[in-house]
Amino acid sequence: MAAPSAAPHNAEPALPDERKKQQLPPKSYADAVEQEPPANGTNGTNDANGTNVTNGNGTEHDDSKQTGHMASVLRIVDTGAPETKDKQEGRPQFERQESKHEYSAAKGLDDTPRTPPRNKHRKTGSKSSNSSQDKPSADEKESKSNGSDKPKKPKAKDHRKDTTVFETVGEQNGSKLISVKTTGTYEKQIQKDQKEAPKYEIGEGITSGKKPGQRWERSAIRFAPLNVPLHRRLQTLVVLFHTLCIAICVSAFCFLCAIPLFWPLLIPYMIYCMSSKASTSGTMSHRSEFLRSLPVWSLFASYFPARLHRTQELPPTRKYIFGYHPHGIISMGAFAAFSTEALGFSQLFPGIKNALLTLDSNFRIPIYRDYALAMGLASVSKESCENLLSRGGPNKEGMGRAITIVVGGARESLDAQPYQLRLVLKRRKGFVKMAIRTGADLVPVLAFGENDLYDQFQPDSHPKIHKFQLIVKKLLGFTIPLFHARGVFNYDVGLMPYRRPMNIVVGRPIRVVQSPHPDQEDIDRVHERYIQELERIWEAWKDDFAPNRKEELQVLE
């Protein structure tokens, strides 16, 4: 065992019994901590386990004979290392602020609740212990009054602009937590640096492949949602029936022909269809006002929606020929306005009985011919027009009768492009001659939006297809435009027309003088007046009913 080191002569004993023998006052734990250590740093202990202790007089005491409590004291000793400078030239300094919760090595975070919770009482022991911890000791107060505490170092300041400053820590035991507060321009500087950072575009420093799933994101087909209101579903159903009416009737007839049980009924029916003159007689005996006034046609008209407008009242004591323009693809507006009561034709023109004319070949289709006759349709042949305008009415001479002719015909349907209005009219003068021969007034009708219901191939971009369509028109009397619009459950592909508004404007009547053999000069004069009235309607209402037009009205051929 190593020889015990001698303690300094001025060292005071730390044990209570030793201090009592030497008539020294009791020494607290804080005083023991603040006591200066001996020169050799041994504090009077001999070995690691402290078996031999030296008192102030230099006498040794055996640990086995000592009955009092011996306390071990940990002392934080200043090593004398030079302090770091508050300012350094190469790095910015920051301002420190105290945290709301003060931390000390003895107490930890001071999270003691300031007020007791409701319906609960604090225990006396815990309260006293908390108060004893919060209250400073008398020695600490004395030391503060004597100025023994080390003064806090002032905040380090940086006179440079836009820098952040730390506060210097004042105590070595870390009794305070310091927060960092940045300057006002710190966030702006970060945003500026991000904007000024170099950005690499594709092709400069990197080559990327195609983006997966991009084709599905921009799919050309937009499907209808499932939560579509019921009335819109019903509108679609009625328009679908009208669009596919001929196909439905032909399919139903073929199905009945496949059943031999129906042959005794089908054979006489076919003979009747071939010999019937109901479409040209002009009597309108098959016309059903009940069928024309069904509420389902209101659903048909509200699908687009369509509206009928008049510019002048028409007396029921005259005959009329309504010229409908343009033809469009299927002439949906003409059917809604003049073949049904959905748009209120009888209310706008009371006392006038109108018939919509179509191709005579449509009245050779089984089942469909009966449906068309019940809706008031008739043949567009010369015989049918003369019979309709010379029979019936109050005087049985056709007064109060009217017919509607889609003047442009199948040829005009090939030029039906959305947001354009091209009329095939310059060489169409047969209806003018018929008006003069029968004494009927001409009433031009312009349907804004009829051409917007379908899309079809452009004649300029597909000249061969357009030429083939003209050949079919010349041989068969009708043509097949290659069109498309929307479907039943989507908005981009199908044979259903688009939901685009139609406004059918009925112009002012052009009075004619009846002549059984009209001159060509009279025909040209009335025809010119008719075109002028159409142009007047276009100029008057194009801004209201055709705001998205691509071009002005054009009269062709």
- Round the CA-based radius of gyration of the chain to a whole number and report it: 53
Q: Which residues contact 26 (CB under 8 A, 6 or more apart)?
A: 16, 19
Instruction: Report pLDDT digits (tens) over 359-406.
Output: 998 999 999 999 999 999 999 999 999 999 988 777 788 899 999 999
Q: Which residues contact 60 (CB under 8 A, 6 or more apart)?
A: 4, 52, 53, 54
Question: Rounded distance, CA 11 to CA 57, Å?
Answer: 9
Question: Rounded distance, CA 306 to CA 449, Å?
Answer: 9
Give the C-alpha distances (Å, rounded to integers) separating 473 from 241, 372, 466, 477: 26, 23, 11, 5
pLDDT reported for residue 524: 95
Question: Rounded distance, CA 242 to CA 228, Å?
Answer: 21
Question: Rounded distance, CA 443 to CA 162, Å?
Answer: 83
Q: Which residues contact 132 (CB under 8 A, 6 or more apart)?
A: none
Region 264-282: mean pLDDT is: 93
pLDDT reported for residue 480: 76
Instruction: Tell me what percent of the residues of the chain surpass a pLDDT of 70.
Output: 66
Could you give the residue ranges of the DSSP H alpha helices within 15-81?
16-21, 29-34
pLDDT category at 337 given cuts 50, 70, 90 is: very high
Within a 13 Å sphere around the CA of 187, how many CA atoms are in the beta-carbon half? 2
Nearest to 514 by CA among 442, 432, 440: 440
CB contact at 8 A, 506 and 310: yes
pLDDT reported for residue 35: 54
pLDDT category at 142 given cuts 50, 70, 90 is: very low
Average pLDDT, whole number, for the chain? 77
pLDDT reported for residue 374: 96
Instruction: Report pLDDT digits (tens) over 104-127.
Output: 444 444 555 555 555 544 444 444
Taking the alpha carbons of 470, 471, 474, 476 in that order, is the dihedral positive or negative?
A: negative
Q: Is 298 exposed, middle or buried (0-12, 13-18, 19+ CB in 10 A)?
A: middle
pLDDT at 96 > cutoff 90:
no
CA 46, distance to chain mean position in Å, is 86
Give the C-alpha distances (Å, rounded to integers) separating 318 from 452, 506, 510: 34, 16, 12
pLDDT at 550 > cutoff 60:
yes
Within a 13 Å sphere around the CA of 159, how many CA atoms are in the beta-carbon half? 0
pTM of the model: 0.62
- 186 or 83: whose pLDDT is higher? 186
